Chain A
C-alpha cells in the first residue's frame, strides 16, 4: 500500500479515505498495445475507469510495440475507439472519448530494439511534463512470456525502472498469465522480472481474481457467521469447481496448441478460485496476509504420484459436434486448418488437452478427506463457471429414511459467469396433506439483486495497481507453488507418449472418463 512507503508525504486531504483505493498519478505503458488483449480488454477497461471518474487526474497511456499503421498515436486511438465501441461495458460517449484520447499515445518499436526503448523513454519524460506526472510508471506486459525477459532487460538498461518505490515515485509492472509453461520456465520468468523489479513492484494478473463473485467468496465466508463454521470436512461432502466454455480454440490455436487446458486454466484460474474457497481466515486484509493464506492452500494440496495421475486426472480433446445447433469442427481439424493457413506444417497428432478433470485433496485439518473436483473444458454445451459446495446428507432417518424418495443434499453455489451470484439449495415441504420434500433454490443474482453493472475485472485490477494494492494479484511463491503441484501431471503426460487422448463430442459435458472419475466415488458432476 502506498501509505506504507517510507518517506511518503501523507496527504491530509486523503485521510479517512481507504488508501488502497486512491490511484496515483502515472503513465500506463502497454507493451503489446497492438494485440488482442489490449483491444478487447485493456482499452475498454481504461475508458470505463475514465467514464467513472476513477482515473487519476494526472494520467496518460502510452502503447508500445509493433503493428501500427501510419501515425502511431492516431492509429492507437482509432484502435482503442473500435475496441471500446465493440467491447466496452459502457457505450462510447464522444465528449468523454475526446478527453480520453488526448492522453493516449503510441511508440512503435520492437521489444528487442534498444533504440525503440530510448524513444519510449523520451516520450514518457515528455508526457510527464505535459500531464504533470511525477515520473510514475505502470508497465503492462500484454505480451507472450517468451519476450518478458527481453522487455525487462531493456527497461532496466535504459534506466526506466526505479530500484524501489520512493516517497513520490514508483515503477510497477503487470505481468499477464501464463507465467511460464512449467515450474522451471515460471521460475525463469519470475527471475527475469526480479532482475529489475522487486516483488512489491510486481503485479501478476489473473483476471478471475478481479471478478466480483470471486472477491465475494471471502465476504461470503468471513462476513457471514452461518457458513464458515460449516465449511470443513465434518459438514462438506465435496466441492466442485467448473469453468466451462462453449467456444473452441478459434483464433487462439497458435497460442493454445502445446499449452492446453491444464496450463491455460487450471494452473491459474481454477487453483486461485480453489484457494479462495479453501483458505483459512487471514488475520487481516493486508495484501500479503491474504496471499499467505491462499499460498498455504497450495502447499497443502496432496501431491500427485504417477498412479494418482492415472486415477485422479482426466484429459481429453473435443471432436466435431454441435453447439447451439451449429456444426463445429474438432480440435485437430482446427489445428490443421490454422497451420496450413499460415503456411506451416500442422502437427497431425496433437495431444493438447481441451478438457481436464481432477480430483484433488487438501491435506489440512479443515479439509481432510473432502474431495475437490475440478473440471474445465472447451466446446462444452454452455459458458458457465461456478463453485458448488455440497453438504453431507442428513442421517437416513426421518425424512431421509425412504431410499425410494431420495433427499437432495444442500448445495451452496457461487456462480462466477456468465451470471454472477450465489444460490443455496434446501429441501422444503410441498404444500399438501402428505410430507413430501422438494428441493428449492434460494437465489441471489448480482445484477438483479444489486441492480447495477459490475465493473469488468480488468478495471478493478488496473485501478489496484495504480493504487499500489496487490491483494488480488499472484505472488511469486503462489505461482510457483501452483506449478509445483501440477508438475507430476505434466511429467506423467509428457512421459506417457500417447498419440490419442480420450475424446468428447463438441456440445457435450466432456468425456466418459471424467464421469467415471467422479462416479467411482459415488458422486456425479453437476449439470450446469
Chain B
C-alpha cells in the first residue's frame, strides 16, 4: 500500500510499522483493550479512505496518530451525549513485554516487572499526560509533530510534557532507584 506518494519513502512505508504505536496510543486514551483494537482498526479504515487526500511528502506517522485521536475524540463526545459506558481499567498482565534472549531469568523477571510498573504508572496519569508521554517518549515525535496531533501550540506541548514528566518521575521514584542497581549489574 502506498500511503505516501513520495517514491523514495514508499518502499518502507506501509503503515503497518506504526501498528504497535497506534495500539499503544489507543490504549493510553481508552485504557481498554477492546476499545483500543476498534480504534486502531477504524484508524486504518479511515486512513485508506483518505489516502487520496494525503499530500506528497506528508508525515504519515503524525497523520495516522491524528486520525486515531480525532476518532477517539468524536467517540468520546458522542458517548457523553448518549448512554454512559463504563471505562475498563487495563490489566497489566495482558500487555506484552519484549525480552532479550541473552538475559537470564532473574533479569527477565526484573525487566518484566519494571515494564509493568511503568505501564501501570503511566495509566495512573491524566489522559493529557498519558498521551504526551506516549507521543514523545515512546513514539519519538518532535514537539511540532505532537502539536499537530494534539492540535495545540508547541508551547503547550512543552509545558504539558514538563508537567507529565515531573509527575511520572515522582510516581516512579522507587523504580528509578531500583533501576540504578540494575544499571550497576550491567543488565540495562
Are the chains A and B members of one assembly? no
Interface residues of A (CB under 8 A from B): none
Chain B contacts to A: CB under 8 angstroms? none
